[in-house]
C-alpha cells in the first residue's frame, strides 16, 4: 500500500508539472479502459526513468489479465526470460491486424528488430509512422532511442522534436542531456566537438524541476562537473543524489544508491586517491544486484590498472569470477558474466605482455562462448536465429584472435584474419550499418604497428567523429599515427584530452598512463 501511495504522489507531481501542456498520448486498442489507463501509467513510469520493478511487473500482469488481447503492452515485457519475451513479440505480430494502423506498424517495427535482427528496418518503419502520426511525442522518443545506434544527429533531432511537443517530458530532457555528456552512459553521444556541457547542465536542471524526487539529474550533473575536473561540485551533486534516493525514491533503492556511491568512487579514482575509491566501490558492490556486482567489480579492477598493477587487477577479476559461481542466476547469465571478466583479464595480460596467460585467457573465452552458444542454439526459434547466433560467435572469436595477434606482433596472421573479418562484416551491413566499424579500427591499429601511419590514418578516417569520440583506445593509436607523420600539435592535443579524461572505462584504464607518457616525451 505504501508503494502505491508513493507512486500516486509521484504521478500527481508529473501532472502538476505539466499543467500548461497537455501532450497528446497514443490511443491504444483495448476492450478495457482500465487496462489502457494502467498501460499509460506503465509508460509514464518508464518515461520518468525511475520506477519500482515490482510495481511495473504488477502493472504488466494486471494489463494482461484485464485484456489478454491488448497486444502492444506485450512488446514491453522485460520481466520474463528471453524465450518468453520473443514468444510475446511473435504473438503481437500474429495479431497486428486486430489493432489500429499505428499500433500494427509499431508492432511490425519491433518484430523486425527483435526477431529478424534488423535495426535498419525498424528505423524505417518508425519514420513512416511518425510521418503519418506526428502529434505523439512518445513515438519521437522511441524513434530517438532507435536512431541513437544509427545516426546520433538524427537521434538528437527526434528528442528535440519530442521536447517541442512536450517540454515537460523528463525523458526527452535527460536523453538530450546524455548526447552532450563527456562519456560514460549507455548511449551513443554526439561527436566530442559537438558536445555542449552547458546545454547538458541546463537540460538536467530542467529535469530536476520536472521531477525533483528523481536522483538521476543530480547524479548526471555530477558527471558534467567531473568532466571539467570540478571535483568538489561533482561530489556535492553525487551526495545530493544519495539524499534524494533516501528521501523520495520508492522500491528497491539499492541500484540507484550503489550507482551514486560508484560515482563518488570515480571522483576519487581521478584524484588518484585509489584506496578511497576502492572503499566506495566495495560499499556499492555490497548492496548491488548480480549485474552491478560484476560491473562495479571490473571498475574496482581498473584502479589497479591506473596504478600499472596488472596483477592486482587480475586478482580482483578472479575474485569476481569466484563470486559469479554463487549467483542465483541462469547458466547463460553466469557464462556471460564470466566471459566479461575473462575478457578484462585478457586485456590485463595482453597489455602487460604475459603471452602464456593471454593464450590461456583466449582459450577460456572461446570455450565459454561455445558453451553459451550451444544453449542458445538449442532454444533458437528457427534457422535464421541459429544463423545469427553462429555468425555472432564467429565474429566475436575472430575479433579476439585479431586483437591477440596484433598485441603480440603476429602481423601477417592478423592481416589475413582482418581480410576474412572484412568479408563477414560486409554481410552484416544489411542488419547493422555500423558493422564495419571494428574492421576499420583493427585495420588502423595494425597498419600503425606495421609501420604504415599514413594508411593507419586513412583506415581510421572511415570512422565518424562519433565512432571515435568515446573510443580512447583507438584514439590513442590514431594520435600515435598523427605524431608519426609529423602532426605534432594535433597529436599532442589528442594525448592531452586522453590524459585528462575523467571517466572510468576499460579503454581509459589502459590508455590514460600511455597518453601521459607521450605528453612527457613531447615536452
Q: Mean pLDDT across the stretch 406-432?
A: 92
Return mean pLDDT, the chain. 89
Please report where in the chains the cell 571515435 appears, as a residue.
468
pLDDT at 408 over 50: yes
145-189: pLDDT as tens digits: 999 888 999 999 999 999 999 999 999 999 999 898 866 566 788
Count of positions (residues) in the chain: 523
104-115: pLDDT as tens digits: 999 999 999 999
Percent of the chain with pLDDT over 90: 67
Written out in words, the top-level CATH class of the domain with range 421-523 is mainly alpha
Write the DSSP string, 77-143. --SS-HHHHHHHHHHHHHTGGGS-HHHHHHHHHHHHHHTS--HHHHHHHHHHHHHH-TT-HHHHHHH
pLDDT at 131 over 50: yes
pLDDT at 25 over 60: yes
- What's the pLDDT at 381? 80
Q: Which of 492, 485, 414 is nearest to 446 (CA)?
A: 414
pLDDT at 9 over 50: no
- What's the pLDDT at 258? 86
Using only C-alpha atoms, the chain has a radius of gyration, in whole angstroms, of 24
471-481: pLDDT as tens digits: 899 999 999 99
pLDDT at 251 over 80: no
Q: Mean pLDDT across the stretch 363-388?
A: 91
Separation in Å, CA 353 to CA 46, 346, 359, 444: 46, 10, 11, 21
Find out whether 285 and 297 touch, Cβ atoms under 8 Å.
yes
Q: 10 Å Cβ neighbour count for 90? A: 15
- What's the pLDDT at 201? 94
510 alpha-carbon distance from chain centroid? 20
Q: Structural domain boundaries of the chain?
A: 1-171, 421-523
The pTM of this model reads 0.76
Separation between Cα atoms, residue 152 and residue 468, nearest integer Å: 13
Q: 10 Å Cβ neighbour count for 25? A: 15
70 alpha-carbon distance from chain centroid? 30
Separation between Cα atoms, residue 350 and residue 511, nearest integer Å: 13
Amino acid at each position: 500500500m505504501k508503494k502505491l501511495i508513493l507512486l500516486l504522489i509521484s504521478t500527481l507531481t508529473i501532472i502538476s508539472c505539466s499543467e500548461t501542456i497537455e501532450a497528446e498520448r497514443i490511443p491504444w486498442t483495448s476492450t478495457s479502459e482500465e487496462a489502457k489507463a494502467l498501460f499509460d501509467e506503465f509508460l509514464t513510469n518508464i518515461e520518468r526513468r525511475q520506477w519500482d520493478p515490482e510495481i511495473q511487473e504488477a502493472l504488466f500482469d494486471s494489463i494482461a489479465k484485464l485484456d489478454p488481447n491488448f497486444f502492444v503492452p506485450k512488446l514491453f515485457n522485460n520481466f520474463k526470460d528471453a524465450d518468453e519475451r520473443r514468444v510475446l513479440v511473435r504473438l503481437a505480430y500474429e495479431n497486428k491486424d486486430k489493432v489500429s494502423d499505428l499500433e500494427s506498424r509499431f508492432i511490425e517495427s519491433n518484430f523486425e528488430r527483435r526477431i529478424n535482427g534488423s535495426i535498419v528496418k525498424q528505423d524505417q518503419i518508425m519514420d513512416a509512422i511518425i510521418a503519418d502520426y506526428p502529434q505523439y511525442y512518445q513515438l519521437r522518443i522511441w524513434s530517438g532511442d532507435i536512431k541513437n545506434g544509427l545516426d546520433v544527429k538524427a537521434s538528437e533531432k527526434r528528442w528535440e522534436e519530442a521536447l517541442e511537443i512536450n517540454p515537460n517530458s523528463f525523458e526527452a530532457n535527460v536523453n538530450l542531456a546524455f548526447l552532450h555528456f563527456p562519456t560514460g552512459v549507455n548511449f551513443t553521444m554526439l561527436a566530442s566537438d559537438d558536445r555542449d556541457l552547458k546545454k547538458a547542465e541546463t537540460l538536467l536542471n530542467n529535469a530536476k524541476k520536472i521531477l525533483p524526487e528523481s536522483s538521476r539529474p543530480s547524479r548526471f550533473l555530477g558527471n558534467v562537473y567531473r568532466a571539467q575536473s570540478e571535483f568538489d561540485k561533482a561530489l556535492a551533486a553525487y551526495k545530493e543524489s544519495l539524499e534524494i534516493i533516501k528521501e523520495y525514491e520508492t522500491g528497491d533503492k539499492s541500484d540507484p544508491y550503489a550507482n551514486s556511491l560508484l560515482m563518488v568512487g570515480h571522483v576519487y579514482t581521478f584524484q588518484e586517491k585509489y584506496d578511497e575509491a576502492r572503499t566506495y566501490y566495495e560499499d556499492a558492490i555490497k548492496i548491488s544486484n548480480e549485474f552491478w556486482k560484476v560491473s562495479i567489480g571490473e571498475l574496482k579492477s581498473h584502479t589497479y590498472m591506473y596504478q600499472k598493477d596488472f596483477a592486482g587487477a587480475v586478482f580482483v577479476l578472479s575474485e569476481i569470477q569466484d563470486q559469479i559461481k554463487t549467483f542465483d542466476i541462469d547458466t547463460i547469465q553466469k557464462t556471460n558474466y564470466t566471459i566479461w571478466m575473462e575478457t578484462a583479464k585478457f586485456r590485463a595480460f595482453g597489455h602487460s605482455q604475459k603471452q602464456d596467460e593471454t593464450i590461456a585467457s583466449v582459450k577460456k573465452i572461446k570455450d565459454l562462448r561455445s558453451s553459451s552458444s550451444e544453449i542458445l542454439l538449442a532454444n533458437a526459434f528457427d534457422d535464421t536465429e541459429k544463423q545469427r547466433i553462429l555468425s555472432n560467435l564467429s565474429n566475436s572469436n575472430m575479433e579476439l584472435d585479431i586483437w591477440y595477434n596484433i598485441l603480440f606482433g603476429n602481423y601477417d596472421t592478423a592481416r589475413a584474419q582482418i581480410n576474412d573479418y572484412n568479408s563477414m562484416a560486409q554481410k552484416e551491413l544489411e542488419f547493422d550499418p555500423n558493422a564495419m566499424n571494428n574492421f576499420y579500427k583493427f585495420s588502423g591499429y595494425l597498419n600503425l604497428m606495421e609501420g604504415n601511419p599514413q594508411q593507419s590514418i586513412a583506415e581510421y578516417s572511415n570512422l565518424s567523429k562519433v565512432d571515435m569520440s568515446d573510443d580512447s583506445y583507438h584514439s590513442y593509436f590514431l594520435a600515435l599515427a598523427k605524431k608519426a607523420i609529423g602532426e605534432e600539435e594535433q597529436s599532442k592535443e589528442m594525448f592531452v584530452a586522453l590524459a585528462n579524461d575523467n571517466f572510468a572505462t576499460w579503454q581509459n584504464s589502459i590508455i590514460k598512463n600511455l597518453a601521459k607518457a607521450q605528453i612527457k616525451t613531447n615536452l
